[in-house]
Amino acid sequence: MKCDVCENEASVFLTQIINGQMTTVNLCESCSKAKGVTEETGFGLAEAFLTPSMRSEDSMEVVCNACGFTASQLKKIGRMGCPECYHSFREGLDGLLRNMHKGTRHVGKRPASVGGTAPQLLPRQRTSVVREETSTPPPPPLPVPAQAQPSDVSKLRADLDLAVKEERYEDAAKLKAEIERLQPKAPSK
C-alpha cells in the first residue's frame, strides 16, 4: 500500500474515529515522522490532517466569545458549546459539514421570524390541512441574554466576504441575493 502523502510504501497505518466517521491514514516511515504521528503525543491525527485553522495552539486557540468553548473541546467531543460557536468556529466548518451531509447550505424549513418560510408542501399529502393557528394565546416571551447573536444580515455579510476571498463566486452571488432579500434598502457598509 502506498503512503497517502508521498509515493513510498506505507508502513504506518492509523485508524481514528472523528465525529463518528472512521478515517484511515496510511503513511510511510519518513512521512509519519514528519507528521509527528509516531511521537507519543502525536496522536492528534485531526491536528495533522484537518485544516490548519482548526488546530489549537495553546496561545492562539480559537475560543467562542459567547460561551468560552474552545476549539480543542470541539475537537474532543465533536459538539458545539452554544449556537454562536458555529460562527466562532466557522473556519474549516464547510469541509467538516461536506463529509457529514448532502450539502453545506440549509434548504429546509425556516422560522417565520427569519424572513418566513413557505409552508412545507408534502408531496404525498392527501388531505392537506393548512393550519392557520392564530387563536392560541402567544406564550410569554423569553428574555434573550445580552450576548445575543449578531443579526443574520451581518453574518451573511461576513460569509459573503469570505466567499469572495475564497473565490467561491457562486456562493457569493447567492449570499448577496439573500442579503438583498432580507434588507432591500440596506445602507452599504
Partner 1 sequence: MMRFATLIKNPADWMKGTGPHSEIVMTSRVRLARNLRGFPFPGFSQERQRVDLLEQVRPVVEQLPEMRDGYSEDYTDLSKIRKQVLVERHLVSREHAARSSGCAVVVDRKQSISIMINEEDHFRIQGIRPGLNLHSAYELVDRVDSELESGLPFAFDSKLGYLTACPTNLGTGMRASVMLHLPALVLTEQINPVIKAVGKIGLAVRGLYGEGTEALGNLFQISNQHTLGEAEPEIIAQIEKVIEGVVRSEQNARAKLKEDHHTMLQDQVGRAYAILRYAHVLSSKEALNLLSMLRLGADLDLVGNCDRSLIDMMLLEIQPAHLQLNAARELSPDERDSMRAEITRARLQSIHGPGSFPTSQSTPGGPPSAPNDE
Nearest to 114 by CA among 37, 174, 178, 188: 178
Closer to partner 1 at the Cβ: 33 or 90?
Answer: 90
**Measured torsion, CA atoms of residues 3, 8, 10, 15, in degrees rounded to the nearest 10:** -10
CA distances from 165 to 91, 101, 150, 159, 170 (A): 13, 24, 21, 10, 12
Region 50-109 residues binding partner 1, contact defined as CB under 8 A: 66-67, 69, 73, 77-84, 86-87, 93, 96-97, 100-109
Contact in structure between 81 and 73 (CB atoms under 8 Å):
yes
The residue (of 12 and 97) whose beta carbon lies closer to partner 1 is 97
Asked whether position 178 contacts partner 1 by CB under 8 A, the answer is yes
Cell of 62: 480559537
DSSP state for residue 34 in the 8-state scheme: H
Binding-site string for partner 1 from residue 144 to residue 173, where x marks contact by CB under 8 A and - marks none: xx-xxx--x--xx--x--------------
The footprint of partner 1 (CB under 8 A) covers 19-20, 66-67, 69, 73, 77-84, 86-87, 93, 96-97, 100-115, 120-125, 129, 131, 133, 136-142, 144-145, 147-149, 152, 155-156, 159, 175, 178, 182
